[in-house]
Amino acid sequence: MMDRIRQAFGPEVPGLLGFLLLVVAVFGVTAPNFLTAANLGSIAYQLPELGILTLAMLIPIISGGFNLAIIYTANMAGLTLAFVLMQFGGVDAGAGAFLLGTVLALAVGALSGAAMGAVIAYIGAHPILVSLAMMIFLRGLGEFLTKGGDISGFPQYVAVLGHGSLLGIPVPLVLFGLCALAWHVLLTRTRHGFAARMIGSNLRATTYSGVHTKRTLVLIYTLSGVMCAVAGILMLSRFNSVRVGHGEALLLVTVLACFLGGVDPFGGFGRVVPVVIALVVLQVLSSGLNLLGANQHLSTAVWGLFLVGVMILRWGAGRWKERQRGRS
């Protein structure tokens, strides 16, 4: 059973699940309101934002790169949708306007990603530098377009996306589930996902094997940009406003979630399922600490400790396994 889970979802999964159970058990006992529907519901509404942004970060990292521009790409896409809604009457904008805005928002995300991917693939520039340039460009552009303020006043139905529920399941969670499933399939069952892992380990050897690595790289960053746009639309709905700086603090948390989920910081290895579990652990930790009355900054500090703890545990597990192998 464990072996089959390991094979299908990655060797990290059983350990992370164990950790999740432990965290839930501790908070279940110590924080009286932890296991209530209200609290679990609030976790379910908060998780998808960070989750979708983490998915956007995940595939560039697996391909050996990075995308520092995820937050501003998301907000730029959100701004696009907001602009369209404003053009069509703000609060009174119809469903057609929302649809058009969504398509354009996704296109803006894709464009931002494709531009980065093209520079990375064809110029060979380092992804950190390229996405840093894109991040600064988008932030400046966004501040310019919004004059540093925020845009709000959207139609009522937009809130459904961020606050509604479908058959009792929060809509954002449904959205996140669909995105995660798409990414899981992309990485495990498609040629580009396969090539992304290979590129992450050795770009030149992958090219030598006859893989169109440049096209795959452009696609990876384009998809990352599209995922950012989805997050941007969700953020618009949740905050009922768009501002260039929304969610700035999440940038490095997405990296944290990837590494907790066993993604290799040097590229080549990473799976969706363990990253999702890592996200849940992070959210549960912060919500539990919050219930215990801890300061929000303290829960951020605990996240950091958590990553160090997981690294030490992994190191220990690796050594233990080696010793077992030596014995057998």
d(CA 115, CA 222): 8
Choice from 212, 245, 302, 307 touching another protein (CB under 8 A): 212
Closest CB 204 distance from another protein, rounded Å: 6
Site size toward another protein, by CB under 8 A: 25
Q: With binding defined as CB under 8 A, does residue 182 bind another protein?
A: no
Closest CB 191 distance from another protein, rounded Å: 4
Segment interacting with another protein, rule: CB under 8 A, options 66-74, 95-103, 199-207, 224-232? 199-207
d(CA 101, CA 119): 27
Question: Do 280 and 20 meet the contact criterion of CB atoms below 8 Å apart?
Answer: yes
DSSP three-state, residue 92:
helix
In the block, residue with structure tokens 């996240």: 303
Q: With binding defined as CB under 8 A, does residue 197 bind another protein?
A: yes
Segment interacting with another protein, rule: CB under 8 A, options 68-76, 172-180, 202-210, 242-250? 202-210
Q: With binding defined as CB under 8 A, does residue 311 bind another protein?
A: no
d(CA 9, CA 162): 29
Site for another protein in 264-303 (CB under 8 A): 268-269
Question: Strands (DSSP E) along 174-225, which ranges?
Answer: none
Choice from 83, 88, 194, 259 touching another protein (CB under 8 A): 194
Closest CB 159 distance from another protein, rounded Å: 36
What are the b/e assignments for 103-113, b being 16+ CB within 10 Å? ebbbbbbbbbb
Q: With binding defined as CB under 8 A, does residue 326 bind another protein?
A: yes
Q: With binding defined as CB under 8 A, does residue 204 bind another protein?
A: yes
Closest CB 326 distance from another protein, rounded Å: 3
Burial of 58 (0-12, 13-18, 19+ CB in 10 A): buried
Beta-bridged to residue 152, according to DSSP, are 241
Question: Strands (DSSP E) along the chain, which ranges?
Answer: 151-152, 165-166, 169-170, 241-242
Question: Helices 37-62 and 272-291: crossing angle, nearest 10°?
Answer: 140
Choice from 30, 87, 209, 295 touching another protein (CB under 8 A): 209
Q: With binding defined as CB under 8 A, does residue 208 bind another protein?
A: yes
Segment interacting with another protein, rule: CB under 8 A, options 121-129, 135-143, 188-196, 277-285? 188-196
- DSSP 8-state symbol, 119: I
Residue 165, φ and ψ in degrees, nearest 5: -140, 155
Q: With binding defined as CB under 8 A, does residue 134 bind another protein?
A: no
Q: With binding defined as CB under 8 A, does residue 205 bind another protein?
A: yes
Choice from 152, 165, 201, 299 touching another protein (CB under 8 A): 201
Q: With binding defined as CB under 8 A, does residue 122 bind another protein?
A: no
In the block, residue with structure tokens 């790409």: 73
- DSSP 8-state symbol, 134: H
Which parts of this chain interact with another protein (CB under 8 A)?
Answer: 185, 189-191, 194-195, 197-198, 201-202, 204-212, 268-269, 325-328
